[in-house]
Amino acid sequence: MSARDDVLNRIKSALRDSPAAPEIPRNYRLVSTMTAAQRLEQLVDRLVDYKANVFVVPAAEAPAKLAELLDGAASIVVPHGLPAEYLQLLKNDAGSPAVQVDSPERRLTVDELDAVDAVVTGAAVAVAETGTIMLDGSPSQGRRVISLVPDRHVCLLRAADIVEVLPEAIARLDPASPQTWISGPSATSDIELERVEGVHGPRTLDVLILS
């Protein structure tokens, strides 16, 4: 018998008492009760608690803020679906850093990514209660590797994409797409439980929330 049939057979025989599958009581919170302003405030609070740098700016001022944030970066990578206005600004501004676009036609190598200073991506949705930003590989967020190898991740988030509780975010995500959920920058607590930010992932996480 194949291992597959053997294992399945063992499990079936283990369940010969035919245990009933219980009803699932879903009495936990499935939807928000907070206002948009409260959600924004809570998300900022949680992200700052994780040692992320958070900036809330009106959408119109975002490109300028972004330019200011990236002033010290000599090279930047962006996914091909990053909203044109940001890309435009990064590209055309005199003296602005070199921008490389990662796209299905031109995928940057790991070494190229390792040489850049920062990555700018969008985000699919964010959860205020847990301080979590979710990337789902769509064109404005790009491949998983681009938000991993560069040491600094600048994430652009629309305030409208902030939900309060995790179930609301899960409902918005497509399971087929590879996802990365980010709650603050890379961290470890393995040495005497003392939290240290910055191990293998980007050591700096900047979140630019467009209100």
Partner 1 sequence: MSNTFLGMPTLPVFGHGNLNATEKFPKAAHRELGDAQLRANLGHATHTIRDKRLKVVAELPDWEDMRDAGSAIKNATMARLPALLEQFEANFTARGGIIHWARDAQEANEIVTGLIRATGETEVVKVKSMATQEIGLNEYLEEQGIAAFETDLAELIVQLDHDKPSHILVPAIHKNRRQIREIFLREMADVDPALTDEPARLAEAARKHLRKKFLTAKVAVSGANFGLADTGTLTVVESEGNGRMCLTLPETLITVMGIEKLLPSFADLEVFMQLLPRSSTGERMNPYTSLWTGVTPGDGPQNVHLVLLDNGRSAALADEMGRTALNCIRCSACMNVCPVYERTGGHAYGSTYPGPIGAILSPLLTGIKSEENSSLPYASSLCGACYDACPVKINIPEILVHLRGEDVDSKRAKIKVPSQMDLMMKGAQWAFSDGAHLNLLEKGLPLGKLAAGRDKVIKKLPGIAAGWTQSRDIPAPPTQSFRQWWDKEHVAPAAVERSQDGSRNTEGEQA
Kindly state the smallest distance separating residue 47's Cβ from partner 1, in Å.
Answer: 11
User: Which lies closer to partner 1 via its Cβ, residue 65 or residue 81?
Assistant: 81
CB of 90 to partner 1, least distance (A): 23
Interaction of residue 183 with partner 1, rule CB under 8 A? yes
Dihedral angle sign, alpha carbons of residues 21, 23, 26, 27: negative
Question: HSE (CB half, 13 Å, CA atoms) of 18?
Answer: 0
Cβ at position 8, least distance to partner 1 in Å: 5
| Burial tier of 99 (Cβ tally within 10 Å: 0-12, 13-18, 19+) | buried
Q: Does 181 participate in binding partner 1 (rule CB under 8 A)?
A: yes
Give strand pairing partners of 55: 208
| Minimum CB–partner distance for residue 110 and partner 1 (Å) | 5
Q: Taking the CA of residue 177 as centre, how many other CA atoms within 13 Å lie in the half-sphere pointing to its CB?
A: 18
**Alpha carbons 55 and 206: distance in angstroms, whole number:** 8
Query: If binding is defined by CB under 8 A, does position 5 make contact with partner 1?
Result: yes
CB of 24 to partner 1, least distance (A): 5
**Does residue 172 interact with partner 1 by CB under 8 A?**
no
With beta carbons less than 8 A apart as the criterion, state whether 182 and 133 touch: yes
Q: Please say which residue, 59 or 81, places its beta carbon nearer to partner 1.
A: 81
Q: How far is the CB of 70 from partner 1 (least distance, A)?
A: 21
Enumerate residues 88-147 that contact partner 1 by CB under 8 A: 104, 107, 110-111, 114, 127, 129-132, 137, 143-145
Among 57-65, 115-123, 156-164, 165-173, the segment contacting partner 1 (CB under 8 A): 165-173
Amino acid identity of 129?
A: E
3-class DSSP state of 194:
coil
- Does residue 6 bind partner 1 (CB under 8 A)? yes
Selected binder of partner 1 within 185, 208, 209, 210 (CB under 8 A):
185
HSE (side-chain half, CA atoms, 13 Å) at 46: 20
Separation of CA 188 from chain center: 18
